[in-house]
Amino acid sequence: MLIMSKVKVILLTGRTIDQGVSKEHGKLSKEYQEKVAICEVDSSDLKNLTVIKGLNIKVITRFGSVVVKAIKSSRGSHPGIAYMPYGLWANIVVDPHTHGIGMPSFKGIPAELEAAPSENVTPIPVLLEETFRKKPQ
Amino acid sequence: MKELLIKNGFVYDPLNKIDGETMDIAVRDGKIVEEVKKGKTIDASGMVVMPGGVDIHSHIAGAKVNSGRLLRPEDHYKDVELKTVLTRSGVGYSIPSTFTTGYRYSRMGWTTVMEPAMPPLKAKHTHEELNDTPMVDKGAYPLLGSNWFVLEYLRAKMYGECAAFVAWMMNATKGYAIKLVNPGGLEAWGFGRNVRDIDDPVPNFDITPREIIQGLCKVNQILNLPHTIHVHINNLGKPGNYVTTLETMRCVENLATDNKPIMHLTHCQFSAFAGEDWRTFKSASEEIAEYVNSHSHVTLDMGQIVFTNTTTMTADGPFQFTLYQITGNKWVNNDVETETSSGIVPFQYKRKNYVHATQWTIGLELALQIKDPWKILLTTDHPNAGPFTAYPKVITWLMSRKARDDVMKKVNKKTRRKAPLSAIDREYSLYEIAIATRAGQAKALGLESKGHLGVGADADISVYNLDPKKTNLADNPEAITKAFKKAAYTIKDGEIVVRDGEVVNSVNGRTYWVKVETQANLFEIEPELKRAFEKYYTVKYENYLVPQNFSAHQTPVTAKARIKS
Amino acid sequence: MTLVKNVTCPICGTLCDDLEVEVEENSIVDVRNACAIGEAKFLNFTDPKHRNLKPLVRKGGELTEVSLDEAVERSAQILAHAQYPILYGWSCTSCQAIRVGIELAEEVGGVIDNTSTVCHGPSILSIQSVGIPTCTLGQVRHRADLVVYWASDPYSAHPRHIERYTSFSDGRFQESEWEHYVTRLRGVLGKKRLSRASARISMREVSIPPIADPKLPPEFETEKRKLIVVDVRKTRSAEIADFFIQVEPNRDFELLQALRLLVKDEELEVDKVAGVPVDLLEEFADILISCNFGIFFFGVGLTMSSGKHRNIDAAIALTKDLNYRTKFAIMPMRGHFNVAGANIVSTWQTGYPFAVDFSHGYPRYNPGETSAVDILQRDESDASLIIASDPVSNFPRNAAQNLVKNPMITIDPVVSPTTMMADVVIPSAFVGIEVEGTAYRMDCVPLPMKKIVEPPKICLPDEEILRRILLQVRQIRQTGGKA
Ligand code: SF4
Ligand SMILES: [Zn+2]
């Protein structure tokens, strides 16, 4: 039996050019999900997760968890840092506290990664219905 | 046809030499007329009637003012205006939001206000704000004293081309007058430097402030613009700067013709400092007044200090940096490519501070020692020396020695001992106040239909609840302040807009700009300009221009240029 | 076919105004000069798959097509009867629309907040406490011999920023470093990669092997116009830079404070600060002091990580200190094309840049209390109007849940998670493509947005939609609740 190991990381969220471009194809497009429902992970961390790139992982913070596709971080080596583009998926796991100034913490959140090869990325309409219990358009 | 009759007021209309006579003023369709038959009547008996107030220099709109608003929430918290059925809400003491600015001017009886520092690249911003400033007519002066095109044309002594460029600029920015701030110094500030005096060449440009001032003065004459060049001197706010002020006035002396003003030197209080440093700092109002009394080519405005917490903001980046160094307060600097800079520092003028108290005396000394009230106009360089809402106070100080003495008792002792003000008895009459706040301002601006109540003038009128026959005003300063704070009536273009200091009718007001008319082809320089433009700016030529009717109520005033083809 | 020139791109705060758009029979067939994101916008915006083309109102739990009048009427009813509505978005529309939005917020006694509340809000708070020395982008182009991007990745978020305004632009006193960059690439990568590098603008992959030791490269000295990137990870921008300094996450504040000490000629008693060797930091401080004109561009990397506005305080303080030694400026990299405009219009009309509460009859401002996320997290609002933005995707989940729970009106040209969850959807026209207006670049320079093609009939300009709602709200309030 495979033992799922967890890796501790600092989670950053932010803009990517792919997200910017794919957004212009619509947030319901396949492109968008492919470019945004992802998490960039350092190759050494990926190894520890026993996950190969392109497979799904679960990102867990104390605010929530979400399944996204694992991408090998292409630039530099940043063990211990994981990166997700802004969007509905990332927002499930970011720190909602504004510390009195109106601004949640979108960057630098302690998180855990875990391999989730058999779980799927939830598409936006399903995610919306699950989160809000209201019927999306 | 809409008519209105203002009956039996004491009328002060200096441009028509009317000094407190009891008269009726008739209004039809927004203009002053000989007489009216029907319509509404205002009984102004026992009240003062004047042309609507005009302000030649007040920072009310645009990028810099708005950065000031953003910088100072603490300025706004305690000074709020509620929304009413007629008016929009707002906030702000020294830098009120746009709607509030318009209402407050109108409540005091002012009907025309000029924004004196518009960075051309951000002209659209200024106009968007002016468009949201109700109740008053407006205009804005593009900043040209460190503009690369201007510096280059003037360096090459190409006055005709420079004039064409300035004409283009007035059209491009929908501007009203040529503004110079620390001429040349703002370009130097682009690399953190400054110029020392009017003969210190501008780094990288090989031209002196003197040449810039003279050049733009010539350009102004060529273009025949309604207002003169409007100058904020080099070295503003520095001890000993009165020398620069005298040199600045002198440097255009021989350009003057027919005793007409060719330069307006603004907020002169900040430019009449003697002494070597802040310790030996003292008033140079006598030196300035003496010069102005014997020359007729300049007009000035006061820039009168009020003791309060205000926000300083000028295009003079290096000056604002100095203020930041002195005060340690928060500081905004914003340099604008190819054109200008700007800075903002909150400031508290304190009675007990020798320098501040002396500054307070300097402004009044200038106004009281310069004999001809047409030469020195009332301003606070809002909000630099104090907010415009302090005008009633300033009027009172000018009109009442008693009021001045009351303040004098409370200011710094050294100031009290040294200031020439202590020895000055002069008190302004209402007639002189009408010059300093209306007639003189409109005349200096070349706004022919403003500042007077003659037939054909715009029916911009203020009525104050003040009876100079019954009350000795100089002995009753509170009565003066009270009356000017809340106009009994403000009439804008023939409509009653304020009654008893409250807005009863919200109107928009125009934005004036100068359209230069000429025989010559002004736009000969355009291809050249377009070529250089791409290199000088990060925006496209076409996108730089403020289009016709960009904001509502844009009103061109024509200037007939004397450019030969 | 017509070629429309000098088009301003309605996407990011770089607000490029040199786009050229080819139009054929009211449709855009080509666009020049735009980056990949801009191009994708102009070529895809009409795609009916993600365009809102029907006014919708939620009936019996389902969004149902209605007439525009009905959608407007329903919106007015929601707002007129709400106790404390939030009007949110505003950074992707014109200043003309924002003006009406503020009037509407004032009329209904609600809160108007714009997206800066969740991006550069902390930067604004910081400016309000210490000020800011800044400039327009042309000053940078003409004068800057040192450009530092701090926690910002222009390559990804503002793709043409470097080319138009900083290191690869040509100025009066500064030449473009493009040539140098290409030469360096030639050395590092050989000719094969050169062509790919020159396609930088079209956003194809450019990659230089990572710099192994944190040391200044030898050619750094000869660089006339230096480009430095400071970030927690090696971004694409970092790869273009002359030098990249990697800071540990959440420790920018320490690094900035350390630099302040060094700039004031004080010694540091440690070997490393925030993961950066002190030797290197000393060199960095020297570079900062010895430039003729330097600038920090900082991104939301600083505002969103721990410390938030205190990070910006430190960055601005460092910039102020540097002005005693040389000329230095600092500028936030504003995201949406008119987020600066949203702050600007709000400030001139209300005195405050965002999070403005009209519930007392005058503008009130207290971010943390009157800001959208906080109001939602306290569950105080009872309705919302969202314009041209997607808070359902972008707000933390608990805030988004409270938003969705109450009646929500959306005005948006495109389908988004927010419009999908809305109770009223009003389709609108694209500002800068189908409607004109004004927008403000990240350095607060106003630019005209063009109308290039006609919008679909049902898609009105935001300004007009808002005016219609405002008018109806006034009618409802005058008649005491009945329209
Ligand atoms: S950089 Fe920004 S504004 Fe310029 S073309 Fe790209 S998306 Fe548009
Ligand atoms: Zn001024």
Least confident of B131-140, C140-149, C223-232: C223-232
- pLDDT for C437: 97
Between B284 and A47, where is the model more confident?
B284
- pLDDT above 70 coverage of chain C, percent: 90
Query: How far off is chain A from C334, nearest CA to CA, in Å?
Result: 12
Distances (CA, A) of B499 to B45, B108, B488, C482: 16, 10, 5, 34
How many structural domains is chain B composed of? 1
Interface of B with C in 102-161 (CB under 8 A): 121-122, 124-125, 128-129, 132, 148
* Cβ within 8 Å of residue C119, ≥6 positions away: C300, C303, C304, C334, C335, C339
Residue A99: pLDDT above 80?
Answer: no
- pLDDT for C197: 42
Chains B and A touch, using 3 or more CB pairs below 8 Å? no
Residue A131: pLDDT above 70?
Answer: yes
Alpha-carbon gap, residue B337 to B335, rounded angstroms: 6
Using an 8 Å CB-CB cutoff, list chain B residues near C131: 71, 324, 329-332, 344-345
Residue B374: pLDDT above 90?
Answer: yes
If pLDDT is split at 50, 70 and 90, which confidence band does C24 have? very high
User: Do residue C136 and residue B81 have CB atoms under 8 angstroms apart?
Assistant: no
Residue C482: pLDDT above 60?
Answer: no
* Cβ within 8 Å of residue B16, ≥6 positions away: B452, B453, B454
C210-269 pLDDT, tens digit each: 444 566 666 666 667 899 999 998 888 998 898 899 999 889 999 999 999 999 999 888
Q: What pTM, to 2 d.p., does this model score?
A: 0.94
- Contact A93/A127 with Cβ under 8 angstroms? no
What is the best residue among C7, C9, C43, C45 to mutate for testing ligand 1's pocket, by most ligand atoms within 8 Å of CB?
C9
- pLDDT for C205: 39
- Contact B460/B51 with Cβ under 8 angstroms? yes
Between C6 and C480, where is the model more confident?
C6
Least confident of B270-284, C83-97, C146-160, C232-246: C232-246
Work out the average pLDDT over C127-152. Answer: 96
Task: Supply the ipTM of this predicted assembly.
Answer: 0.97
User: Do residue C135 and residue B69 have CB atoms under 8 angstroms apart?
Assistant: no
* Cβ within 8 Å of residue B258, ≥6 positions away: none
Please name the member of C323, C326, C349 whose beta carbon is closest to the beta carbon of B98: C349
Prior bond of C159 cis (ω within 30°) = no
Let me know if residue B529 belongs to a domain: no
* Cβ within 8 Å of residue C408, ≥6 positions away: C383, C384, C385, C386, C418, C421, C422, C423, C424
List the chains bordering chain C where 3 or more Cβ pairs fall under 8 Å.
A, B
- pLDDT above 90 coverage of chain C, percent: 77
- pLDDT above 70 coverage of chain A, percent: 91
- pLDDT for A51: 66
Question: Which domains does chain C carry?
Answer: 51-118+337-433+456-478 (3.40.50.740), 121-332 (3.40.228.10)
If pLDDT is split at 50, 70 and 90, which confidence band does A105 have? confident
In the numeric block, the tokens 């430190």 are attached to C314
- Contact B52/B450 with Cβ under 8 angstroms? yes
Work out the average pLDDT over B408-436. Answer: 97
Alpha-carbon gap, residue C242 to C183, rounded angstroms: 12
Least confident of A101-115, B395-409, C282-296: A101-115
Residue B520: pLDDT above 90?
Answer: no
Alpha-carbon gap, residue A37 to A47, rounded angstroms: 20
In angstroms, how far apart are the furthest CA atoms of chain A? 48
- pLDDT for B8: 96
- pLDDT for B565: 43
Beta bridge partners of B40: B4
- Among residues B127, B115, B219, the alpha carbon closest in space to that of B445 is found at B115
Phi, psi at residue B14, to the nearest 5°? Answer: -60, -35
C154-209 pLDDT, tens digit each: 998 999 999 999 988 888 888 777 666 666 655 554 443 434 444 443 333 334 44
For residue C39, the CA-to-ligand 1 centroid distance in Å is 9
Q: Report the alpha-carbon angle C468-C474-C475, nearest 5.
A: 90
In angstroms, how far apart are the furthest CA atoms of chain B? 67
Query: How far off is chain C from B551, nearest CA to CA, in Å?
Result: 11
Please name the member of A73, A102, A108 whose beta carbon is closest to the beta carbon of C371: A102
Ligand 1-lining residues (CB < 6 angstroms): C 9, 11-12, 14-16, 34-35, 37-38, 158-160
Residue C409: pLDDT above 60?
Answer: yes
Residue C481: pLDDT above 60?
Answer: no
Residue A3: pLDDT above 70?
Answer: no
C315-368 pLDDT, tens digit each: 999 999 999 999 999 999 999 999 999 999 999 999 999 999 999 999 999 999
Alpha-carbon gap, residue A26 to A35, rounded angstroms: 12
- Ligand 1 atom 4, closest CA: C16
CATH number at residue B177: 3.20.20
Least confident of B424-433, C272-281, C297-306: C297-306
Strand C424-427: give its sheet, edge to edge: C62-65, C56-59, C424-427, C408-412, C384-387, C86-89, C111-114, C356-357, C364-365
Work out the average pLDDT over B128-144. Answer: 98
- Among residues C90, C9, C79, C60, the alpha carbon closest in space to that of C389 is found at C90
C455 token code pair: 């919008």
- pLDDT above 70 coverage of chain B, percent: 99
Using an 8 Å CB-CB cutoff, list chain C residues near B338: 138, 142
Mean pLDDT, chain C, rounded, equals 90
Alpha-carbon gap, residue B433 to B2, rounded angstroms: 30
Between C305 and B4, where is the model more confident?
B4
Residue C60: pLDDT above 70?
Answer: yes
Q: Which residue of C has its CA nearest to B74?
A: C128
User: Do residue A102 and residue C47 have CB atoms under 8 angstroms apart?
Assistant: no
Local structure of residue A39 (DSSP, 8 states): E
Q: Which range marks the domain in which residue B149 is found? A: 53-445
CATH class of A6-133: mainly beta
- Among residues B144, B145, B161, the alpha carbon closest in space to that of B153 is found at B161
Q: Do strands C56-59 and A107-115 pair parallel, antiparallel, or not at all (unpaired)? A: unpaired
- pLDDT for C192: 38
Let me know if residue B436 belongs to a domain: yes
Let me know if residue B135 belongs to a domain: yes
For residue B173, the CA-to-ligand 2 centroid distance in Å is 19
In sequence order, what DSSP letters do the residues of B64-129 get, joined into one string? Answer: HHHHHHHH-HHHHTT-EE---SSS--EE-SSS--HHHHHHHHHHTTEEEEEEEEE-GGGHHHHHHH
B29-76 pLDDT, tens digit each: 999 999 998 889 999 999 999 999 999 999 999 999 999 999 999 999
- pLDDT for C365: 97
Local structure of residue B37 (DSSP, 8 states): S
Amino acid (one-letter) located at C463: E
